[in-house]
Structure 1
Amino acid sequence: MASSSAKPTRSISLPSRLHPNSQKIEAQLNKLKTNWESSFSSKETPLGSDNILSGLADLAELYGSIKELIHSPSTQQALLQHHSRKVLEEALDASVGLLDACGTARDLLLRMKENVQTLQSALRRKAIGDSSIESNVQSYINFRKNAKKEVSKSLRALKTMQNVQAFHTLDVDHPLQMVITLLRELSAIAITIFRYLFVFLSVTAATKAKASSGWSLISKLLAPTSFAASERGHKIFNEVGSVDIRLWSLQGQLRKHSGAKIDVGMVKRRLKSLDVCVEGLEAGVDSLFRCLIQHRVSLLNLLTP
């Protein structure tokens, strides 16, 4: 997947004397960057939940490894010797923004799961033609509209975070500079993954006319242009969008053929698929949220020895 900065992949090289697992950390970061810069290089690649779930898992694993590096005596000594409080405070600010984004994503996924399961239950128990079916469908559609507003707000916040990623270069020795670079690149890739997660949760299939205006707003928030243009070129069709399409269609049929028997088999199948998808993403976001909290605690411990 192309990064929002649209720069070529650059490998980071950590001095092995910083920590025994430096090479492992280096490999994890470069793998994550490469995967996200290449996964969506083809315009035929759908924005799928599997890709995002994999990214969340890899990111959580990397945060675990970074925790070991931050706790290493050599890293702590280097940071304290060079009075790198400003760098740590910047990393702390980034951790707050990422925790906010992760918390919002977790809340959206939880409410989406609740809405999906409520609608599934309604379709199982009620006969088509019952007015409550249309009411439940409309409730889900209303949830989706409100969710897109929350997504837009989160994307604005992430865009602001990305704009302040232009950190000052410090006059420090090579090992410390590599730690600083690592923290900044880790934050940058986390921002990118969260942005794609929010796009996944908000954008419906591009074939739906109603989606065009919503995408126009989202694409502006995904600036720089290279990021937005890359995503517009892809098939924005996923488990979330497929349910939207089916429900819009079902809602139209219910209004047009009030009281008539309507087949909801496809809607049920799409909802089941989305339920499984959301459950997986929710677990991935929960795991990452815990890693982000631990990361913030590690940084706070450095500032308050």
Structure 2
Amino acid sequence: MAPSPLHPKASRHARSISLPSRSHPLTLQVEGQLQRLKASEATSSSMCHNLGGLRDLYDSVNDLLHLPLTQRTLAQELGQKWIDEVLDGSLRSLDVCGTARDVLSQMKQSVTELQSSLRRIRGESGLSNEVEAYNMSRKKVTKVISKCLGDLRKVQKQRAFSSLLDKNHDIVAMVSVLRKVEAITLSMFESLLLFVSRSKAMSRPNGWSLVSNLINKKRVAEDEEVMERCEFEKVDVVLGAFVGHKTHKGFEFRHVEAQKRLETLELSIQDLEDGLECIFRSLIKTRVTLLNILNH
């Protein structure tokens, strides 16, 4: 796991060593990626696409941190409050990323177990308990997500950045970039956790019975409604319609449909896990780089 934050003690050198200015290609690249990520988060429906953009952002951040001038200037700032803020932020990002990974792992396990049950059990009575177990797992995951988001929002609300009025322009530019990177990272993780936990079918009172009533409507209308939801919600809707279906013909149809939805969801979760794994490694790399700079 990531090492604990440093609290280095060192006096500042009288001589100022400049960072690459805002015109440096790597600095401009990071800022450009930040703007694109903000726009993508607001408009893109692909969580995997956004995670890929976040991974690319950290590749550029790590390149920027490895510039000799960047490293010398950061080392020069030992003991300054904003250094601790950056270290705390990197640790916080790792913690939230770890929670997201755990949540996805739990969800994939639940999906896999339900898939296995669907292949084994053909009768509705035997599957009702399995579907209920899946629903309980979803609710537990939602509670974990709710706590994580609550803690994160509390920290963000209470957080106050140290003043940089006495710093030169180059240091202000670097600190600004690192703060923006942390902000977009936590925002992306928040969006991912909400993406996993949100479910119209599970959140409304008597959701399953409501969905069952909707099943009697035209197939086209149902498809349009389901397609508007993410894969997690699609599975919730299909399972709600699946349990309690009375006719054998209807049960068989829903049985096949549930299997297809679960297979698609499993692939979606795997894609998200792969994206998070890359970002987790990038976050560790960034933190280690920062710690190494401040250790020398």
TM, length-normalised to structure 2: 0.78
The one of 162, 167, 178 equivalent to 1:168 is 162
CA distance in 1, matches of 2:257, 2:295: 57
* Counterpart position of 1:181: 176
CA distance in 2, matches of 1:74, 1:155: 37
Q: For each residue in 1:55-85, what CA deviation from the matched residue of structure 2 results, as whole angstroms up to 9, or x when unmatched? A: 1111111111111211211112222334463
Q: Indicate how the Cα distance of structure 1 residues 60 and 16 shifts in structure 2: closer, same or farther if over 3 A, else same.
A: same
* Counterpart position of 1:29: 34
Contact kept, 8 Å, 1:246 with 1:267, in 2: the verdict is: yes
Say whether 1:273 aligns with 2:264. yes
* Counterpart position of 1:197: 192
- Asked which structure has the greater CA Rg, the reply is 2
Say whether 1:119 aligns with 2:124. no
Q: Indicate how the Cα distance of structure 1 residues 211 and 158 shifts in structure 2: closer, same or farther if over 3 A, else same.
A: farther
Q: Indicate how the Cα distance of structure 1 residues 165 and 32 shifts in structure 2: closer, same or farther if over 3 A, else same.
A: farther
Q: For each residue in 1:152-209, what CA deviation from the matched residue of structure 2 results, as whole angstroms up to 9, or x when unmatched? A: 0110122133225531221211111111000100011111111111111111027962
Contact kept, 8 Å, 1:205 with 1:211, in 2: the verdict is: no
* Counterpart position of 2:233: 241
Contact kept, 8 Å, 2:201 with 2:237, in 1: the verdict is: no
Give the unaligned 5+ runs of structure 2: 1-19, 208-226
In structure 1, what residue type is equivalent to 2:268? Answer: C
SS in 2 for 1:210: coil
Contact kept, 8 Å, 2:94 with 2:283, in 1: the verdict is: yes
**Percent of residue pairs bearing the same amino acid type:** 35
Q: Indicate how the Cα distance of structure 1 residues 161 and 113 shifts in structure 2: closer, same or farther if over 3 A, else same.
A: same
Contact kept, 8 Å, 1:162 with 1:188, in 2: the verdict is: no
CA distance in 2, matches of 1:15, 1:65: 16
* Counterpart position of 2:101: 106
Say whether 1:141 aligns with 2:147. no
TM-superposed deviation, 1:54: 1.3
CA distance in 1, matches of 2:197, 2:66: 38
1:257-296 mapped onto 2 (5 Å cutoff)? 262-263=252-253, 264-296=255-287
In structure 2, what residue type is equivalent to 1:140? Answer: Y
Q: CA RMSD in A?
A: 2.6
* Counterpart position of 1:15: 21
Q: Indicate how the Cα distance of structure 1 residues 208 and 86 shifts in structure 2: closer, same or farther if over 3 A, else same.
A: closer
Q: For each residue in 1:217-238, what CA deviation from the matched residue of structure 2 results, as whole angstroms up to 9, or x when unmatched? A: xxxxxxxxxxxxxxxxxx9821
Give the unaligned 5+ runs of structure 1: 1-13, 41-47, 213-234
Q: Indicate how the Cα distance of structure 1 residues 211 and 94 shifts in structure 2: closer, same or farther if over 3 A, else same.
A: farther
TM-superposed deviation, 1:23: 2.6
Contact kept, 8 Å, 1:204 with 1:236, in 2: the verdict is: no
TM-superposed deviation, 1:275: 1.1
Q: For each residue in 1:112-166, what CA deviation from the matched residue of structure 2 results, as whole angstroms up to 9, or x when unmatched? A: 11111221121122212452x2221111011001001000011012213322553
CA distance in 2, matches of 1:79, 1:23: 19
CA distance in 1, matches of 2:71, 2:148: 33
**How many residues are matched?**
255
Contact kept, 8 Å, 2:114 with 2:134, in 1: the verdict is: yes
CA distance in 2, matches of 1:236, 1:152: 23
Say whether 1:81 aligns with 2:47. no
Contact kept, 8 Å, 1:15 with 1:175, in 2: the verdict is: yes
CA distance in 1, matches of 2:203, 2:145: 19
CA distance in 2, matches of 1:236, 1:161: 33
TM, length-normalised to structure 1: 0.76
CA distance in 1, matches of 2:188, 2:266: 21
